Amino acid sequence: MGPLSREAWAQRLGAFRASPSAFMAGADGEDLGRDLLSDLRSEKLSEQTKVSLLALSLEYPAQLWPDVPAAEAAATSLLDTMVLLPPRPSALRRPLLLAATTVLASGGVLGPTSGASCRLLPLLLGLASGGDVGRGFGPISEQRPLQATACECLRELESCKPGLLGGILGLLRSLLGQEGPIQPLSLLLALALRNTLVVQPRSGASLQGLLMAGVSSTGSGPWDWTLAEKGHSHLQPQAPCWPAAEEGACALAVLEPSPEEVRELRAAVAQLLDTSYLLTPVAQAQLLWLLGWALRGLRGQTPALFKPQLVRLLGTAQLTLLHAVLALKAAFGEALFTAQDEALLLRRLTLAAQHPALPLPTHLFYLHCLLSFPENCPLGPEGEEAAPLLLGPQLCRGLMPSLLHDPMVLLSRLHLLCLLCAEDEEEEKGQVQNPQWYLEELLAGLQQRAALDGGPRVLATLCFQASYLVASCLARQPMILTPLIQGLTQLYRARPVLAPHFVDLLDRVGPELEEPLRVVLQQEVVSRPGRDEALRWHLQMLAKVAERDAQSATLSFLQAAAAHCANWGLQQTLLRVCRVLLRGGGGPGLADLLQVLARQLEDPDGRDHARLYYILLAHLAGPKLGVALGPSLAAPALTSSLVAENQSFAAALIVQEAPAPIRLSVGPQKATGPLLVLQLQVEALEPVYSLELRFRVEGQLYAPLEAVHVPCLCPGRPAHPLFLPLQPRRPAPAQLEVRALYTTPTGITCHAHLPPLPVNFADLFLPFPQPPEGAQPGFFEGLWDSCLPKGAESRVWCPLGPQGLEALVSRHLEPFVMVAQPPTSYHIAIRLPPNSMLLLRLQAAQVDDGVPVALRTNDWAVLPLAGDYLRGLSVTE
Amino acid sequence: MAQRAVWLIRHEPGTPLCGTVRFSRRYPTVENRAKVFNGASYVPIPEDGPFLKALLFELRLLDDDKDFMECRDSCTHINKTSIYGLSIGNEELWPVVAFLKNGMVYASVPLVEQTLSPRPSLISISGISQGLELLFGIQDFLYSSQKNDTELNTKLSQLPNLLLQTCPFGTLLDTNLQNSVDNNNFASVSQPQKQPAWKAGTYKGKPQVSISITEKVKSMQYDKQDIADTWQVVGAVTCKCDLEGIMPNVTISLSLPTNGSPLQDILVHPCVTSLDSAILTSSSIDGVDDSAFSGPYKFPFSPPLESFSLCYYTSQVPVPPILGFYQMKEEEVQLKIKVNLKLHESVKNNFEFCEAHIPFYNRGPITQLEYKVSFGQLEVFREKSLLIWIIGQKFPKSMEISLSGTVTFGAKSHDKQPFDQICIGDTAYVKKKNVGSYHIAYSSELHFSILDYTLTGCYADQHSVQVFASGKPKISAHRKLVSSDYYIWNSKAPAPVTYGSLLP
């Protein structure tokens, strides 16, 4: 594609600027960066158009050349373009330098391995030194502005990579002493000095060496990256000459330089300060911030160097200068400002915060500075706005708020007034002109303005913001709060449409104002006839202020109002109040009201809701009601109240699926009889209440199992074992399905599936009742004989562990031993409900590794289970 | 100290977006630093569209304040400075320096060189004052001599180039944008060192120094027993020094006549090289007594090329130049008004113009008027519900004039009639609790100007001006007194008072 015309470019740039992201996502986006670079060399485009192209690359390099190689290539191309410029004056050299710098610094390219960096840095330094850069670098008339621009570029690179210029401090100093442009060089030196002081302690370089290094060290040799490489990982905050920010960031640079270093440093700083009056005020301010920060970390450095500048600076009200003085004050405190100086600074600041010749944003900023004034001996907690000790009522007289002020001025001055009133609490009571009295008058005026019918919302907002400020600063002063509450009540009476503001205020203020205001507002609302045209607002208000224990006045107001709730919206607001009352558990009259509403409301939806509330009130206990109607936890993003409400009900009233809150296992069985009972161990993972465990067996092996109830379980608290009676229909092992139904501490009912519980064959064993002493052998033999012929007989080999037969029996079969001749012979009888039995004769054999078992049962189906059981005994040993 | 981005947004109420971005400039190198400094709390600069929307919402400049919106109208959403947090997407962009002036919103986002959570105090952020100063500079440039929209557009089109000069990398070099225009024109090979950065070049031509003192007098008059009237003089001294040499030194002395009122609250231009401590400490906080420093006030300085404000001051003169009362009462459908004005004998009775504006807020148009004036003429602006009493160049010999009459109004229509949030009725609402009946807290405002006169008596003696430069300059001095916020409140109703009015 050939070069675009001026118009085409204008259109393209316009489209890009309208929305860079949309443009880059479009078809044309990818080529923009490339086209821009190539058209910069086009001879068809005017310089004006090219400057606008460069302006784009100054603002959006990351979009045009998004990765490091692209940025490197772009910077190289920009430098090439500059070299190719004809040697006549051109408006492009400056923006090309700026653009190359921007692309390198913002593209993350700057470094010793970047070819473009290694070209740009010496070029900038050459230009900044005022030397001959050669290769037709423009006519001599352009050298001077380019020199300044090169300094600016170097300063930006140093800002982005602290320590970059550490190696040329000496050169910069000597340039400043010669004929360089004063402002760019001063600022460059100050920044490089400050960054060096931050980086130097870690690099180990000698400060003196850096400051004294001559011109020769820079020349054409390779750039010294050592300091920058060390500094890069810590872009250092510049601000923390502020005490509050000091701890973390400033700990890095407590230097203890040698006397020679101190001398050089002082000389450099003095050199900068002495000529600072030649800088523009904003640049002077930057210089002071930088030098203040640079010297702050140096132990034993008296900041007296700044003193000669201060008187001159205090006379102006130039915003940046006074701000810089405050920064010095914060940085050096008493070392630079005596108590008298502090008082003078405070006076000048107070004066500037109200001087009619200064614009409003400046007033506001100075007022902020007053309340954050860095005092020599601060008393209050750090970081909190407070009136400085020296700022007495006399000094503040001109800073009092008035209704004539702009809202922001009024609020900031009101804050000051509140702080004064808080201090003034003990003194001057009863005087007519004391600050409290004035505050009261002011609030009354604000309330009156907010009460104006049809007035803009901003007036109402202002009134409530002022009330909030007063309430939060002077919460403990009933002398102020009482009239405030009265005034607000009257405001509500005059303009119920402000109900949302009242609700907001009640939500935000502390109990000192909230409680009494709520009470009077409720009285105010319910004393109205229910057919007020502002009914909507009254109901909205009541939903906030209604007492939970439904007072009769509230109920009768609602009853009266119901007749006038003609539309759906009003009915919903009315029902919302009912809901609030329900949450508190409702009172005796509420059920009646809800029944009336369920009949009377015009809208079917309203009637349904009223009926639902009535049913809830009738069927749910108080706490559950509170949960059901409480704020919905589900789906907070939903805006529809109806949906939210339904969600809330669903959450509260529907049993919800949840992960298992407990762990259940079968405990050791104590086969005692006469009934079969499974012992369960339970462990709580979270608190659960009213736990009901339901069990089910597959295939009707057992009779239906009863649920087990536990009132409460808490994690970490030991739990009693649970007993589950089993009624097998056949003596067979089974899996029990377990479900838990319970209530969470928030009152929500949940159910959870627990892992299935295995009931083993051995868990079904019961002993026979013991026959009288001496009759056991006969009893056993009787049982033995009774098994046949209906039953079955078998012989199995039961392997023995190292413990031998006696141990095996005592461990597994102890309760069932009928006849024993330890250690060789045991007769064992096991009852298997409902009516099976298993009889074993164990007779120790000659060999040690097993015992032959003769077994009989009256139920042939038991045989395989018994066989498995016996063979498994030694394994479980 | 750097800015991450700058915007100018034209506020256009009534249009769908309520505004358009007229200029924006981003600084990507500063943005990179912000990313590092702010760390996890970093919020990127949004594109113009979302920024416009968020800013106008925050400044309440959208047309939709009908409903209560918590994120804007909540009582905790208190802004006490011109620095805002804008919610953009789910994040909050902070700090945004912004203010509205002459229908233009000026905004910038200063770099904060530390993490943003917890939020650092504004006073600790150097970029805040730099940002404000940049925006003031742009504002001065746009409105310095601009008359109409075409000129504004021309100036806006010059801005990108000017900022390339004065703020190439987001760090402001000079607030005086005009300077950089001149700088390009003046740039010469032979610029010596020690050329101040705030002075684009050197002047060549006839030396002359022009000094003009303009005093504005403000007043609040109540005509009440328990409320004191207040008045204050605010002076501005503007200089233009056309002198040869790199840094010519000039000293200007302001003097007062023997009974003159001392100058206080003196703020000087940064080019003033030294200040007497008496000037530095003379403050209105202390009140006036005989021991107060009464001049001469010496200001040694080295002037910039352009016209500049050498200093500002305030003063407390013993009496207001015109003392008046205003009585207004609502009687059935009519308003009865009576205005009385008296020029103090010490004041020069030779006005450039003098008129009293009597507006009626929150009412319908004037339908009927009967009046009597002892002097001058009355003009009626029926639709605007405004009376203007043109007094002219001189008060009569008695120095006292009066106006009385009755005014009747038509029905009020909300849109067209002037609405004022101060001049509403019913100030008695708190004490009388009679909501609904409107009393009147109206005022009349005086507009006047007197040439070659200052109320304090302050003057710049031409012989005391010292100039250390080649050639004897021609020195000219001008003086002027104008009124500004000169209100006379209706004494028949409560009026908004300032703290000063309540002191004994």
Of A280, A369, A455, the CB nearest to B198: A280
Residue A779: pLDDT band with limits 50, 70, 90: confident
pLDDT value, residue B427: 32
Whether residue A789 is preceded by a cis peptide bond, meaning omega within 30 degrees of 0, is yes
Nearest chain B residue to A19 by CA distance is B47
Contact B120 A244 (CB under 8 A): yes
Residues of A in contact with B130 (CB under 8 A): 282, 285-286, 320
Contact A359 B136 (CB under 8 A): yes
Q: Which residue has the higher pLDDT, B9 or A713?
A: B9
B473: Cβ contacts below 8 Å, ≥ 6 apart: B207, B208, B209, B241, B242, B243, B467
Q: Beta strand pairing status for A688-697 and B91-101?
A: unpaired
Is residue B237 within 8 A of residue B254, CB to CB? The reply is yes
Of B37, B65, B234, the CB nearest to A357: B234
pLDDT per residue over B456-467, tens digit each? 999 998 888 999
pLDDT value, residue B194: 73
Contact B429 A490 (CB under 8 A): yes
Q: Is A398 helix (H, G, I), strand (E, B) or coil?
A: helix
* Closest chain B C-alpha to A257 CA, distance in angstroms: 26
pLDDT per residue over A81-92, tens digit each? 988 888 788 889
B75, B134, B219: best to mutate for the A interface, most A CBs within 10 A: B75
Q: In this structure, what token pair is assigned to residue B226?
A: 């328990």
Q: How far apart, in Å, are the Cα atoms of B471 and each of A808, B207, B251? A: 128, 7, 16
Neighbours of A506 (CB within 10 A): 18
Residue A465 pLDDT more than 70? yes
Please state the rounded mean pLDDT for residues B153-172. Answer: 92
Q: Cα–chain-centroid distance for residue B122? A: 24
Residue A772 pLDDT more than 90? no
* Closest chain A C-alpha to B7 CA, distance in angstroms: 13
Residue B351 pLDDT more than 80? yes
Is residue A823 within 8 A of residue A806, CB to CB? The reply is yes
pLDDT value, residue B355: 93
A445 part of contact set with chain B, CB < 8 Å: yes
A513 part of contact set with chain B, CB < 8 Å: no
Residue A348: pLDDT band with limits 50, 70, 90: very high
Nearest chain A residue to B164 by CA distance is A95
Is residue A16 within 8 A of residue A28, CB to CB? The reply is no
**Phi/psi at A297 (5° precision):** -75, -10
pLDDT value, residue A822: 77
Nearest chain A residue to B82 by CA distance is A361
Is residue B321 within 8 A of residue B215, CB to CB? The reply is no
Q: In this structure, what token pair is assigned to residue A767?
A: 């002993």
CA–CA distance, A483 with A481 (Å, rounded to integer): 6
Residues of B in contact with A438 (CB under 8 A): 499, 502
The neighbouring-strand residues paired with A799 are A850
pLDDT value, residue B257: 92
Residue A241 pLDDT more than 50? no
Residues of A in contact with B70 (CB under 8 A): 504
Residue A722 pLDDT more than 50? yes
Of B80, B174, B272, the CB nearest to A415: B80
Taking alpha carbons only, the member of B314, B171, B187, B295 closest to residue A357 is B314
Contact A448 B424 (CB under 8 A): yes
Q: How far apart, in Å, are the Cα atoms of A64 and each of A40, A105, A106, B109, B409? A: 15, 14, 12, 23, 64
Is residue B271 within 8 A of residue A313, CB to CB? The reply is no
pLDDT value, residue A509: 92
pLDDT value, residue A146: 87
pLDDT value, residue A273: 92
How many residues are there in chain B? 504
Percent of chain B whose predicted confidence (pLDDT) is above 70: 90
Please state the rounded mean pLDDT for residues B401-406. Answer: 93
CA–CA distance, B31 with B45 (Å, rounded to integer): 8
Please state the rounded mean pLDDT for residues B313-324. Answer: 92
pLDDT value, residue A642: 52
B174: Cβ contacts below 8 Å, ≥ 6 apart: A280, A282, A283, B137, B166, B180, B197, B198
Lowest mean pLDDT among A518-527, A620-629, B73-82, B221-230: A620-629
A386 part of contact set with chain B, CB < 8 Å: no
Q: Which residue has the higher pLDDT, B245 or B435?
A: B245
- Residue B326: what residue type? Y
Please state the rounded mean pLDDT for residues A799-820. Answer: 81
Residue B478: pLDDT band with limits 50, 70, 90: very high
Lowest mean pLDDT among A457-461, A547-551, A628-632, B77-81: A628-632
In chain A, residues 399-438 whose CB comes closer than 8 Å to chain B: 400, 402-404, 408, 411-412, 415, 432-433, 438
Residue A300 pLDDT more than 70? no
Residue A548 pLDDT more than 70? no
* Closest chain A C-alpha to B461 CA, distance in angstroms: 22
Residues of A in contact with B498 (CB under 8 A): 400, 402, 404
Please state the rounded mean pLDDT for residues A133-149. Answer: 74
* Closest chain A C-alpha to B154 CA, distance in angstroms: 15
Of B79, B273, B504, the CB nearest to A312: B273
Of B99, B129, B312, the CB nearest to A319: B129
Residues of B in contact with A504 (CB under 8 A): 68, 70, 73-75
Residue A219 pLDDT more than 60? no
CA–CA distance, B229 with B227 (Å, rounded to integer): 7
Q: Is B338 helix (H, G, I), strand (E, B) or coil?
A: strand
Residue B503 pLDDT more than 50? yes
Nearest chain A residue to B200 by CA distance is A280
pLDDT value, residue B146: 65
Which pTM was predicted? 0.81
Neighbours of A71 (CB within 10 A): 26
Q: Beta strand pairing status for B208-221 and B230-242?
A: antiparallel
Q: In this structure, what token pair is assigned to residue B270?
A: 């940064």
CA–CA distance, A615 with A555 (Å, rounded to integer): 18
Residue B365 pLDDT more than 70? yes
A343 part of contact set with chain B, CB < 8 Å: no
A771: Cβ contacts below 8 Å, ≥ 6 apart: A778, A779
pLDDT per residue over A591-638, tens digit each? 888 888 888 888 888 888 888 888 888 887 776 777 666 654 443 443
Taking alpha carbons only, the member of A70, A63, A74 closest to residue A29 is A63
* Closest chain B C-alpha to A283 CA, distance in angstroms: 6
Most confident of A192-196, A280-284, A786-790: A280-284
A92: Cβ contacts below 8 Å, ≥ 6 apart: A40, A47, A50, A51, A54, A81, A82, A85
pLDDT value, residue A650: 65
Residue A342 pLDDT more than 50? yes
pLDDT value, residue A216: 45
Nearest chain B residue to A20 by CA distance is B47
Contact B121 A455 (CB under 8 A): no
pLDDT value, residue A775: 83
pLDDT value, residue A410: 94
CA–CA distance, A285 with A283 (Å, rounded to integer): 5
Residue B426 pLDDT more than 60? no
Residues of A in contact with B25 (CB under 8 A): 59
Tokens 């405990």 correspond to A667
Computed on alpha carbons and rounded to an integer, the radius of gyration of chain A in Å comes to: 45
Residue A120: pLDDT band with limits 50, 70, 90: very high
Q: In this structure, what token pair is assigned to residue A715?
A: 């994690």
Please state the rounded mean pLDDT for residues B340-344. Answer: 94
Residue A469 pLDDT more than 60? yes
In chain A, residues 545-604 whose CB comes closer than 8 Å to chain B: none
Is residue B181 within 8 A of residue B162, CB to CB? The reply is yes
pLDDT per residue over A322-336, tens digit each? 999 999 998 888 888
* Closest chain A C-alpha to B175 CA, distance in angstroms: 7
pLDDT per residue over A378-419, tens digit each? 776 666 778 787 787 778 888 999 888 889 999 999 999 998
Q: Beta strand pairing status for A749-759 and A656-657?
A: parallel
Contact A315 B267 (CB under 8 A): yes
Of B75, B285, B500, the CB nearest to A468: B75
Nearest chain B residue to A492 by CA distance is B435
Whole-number average pLDDT of chain A: 83
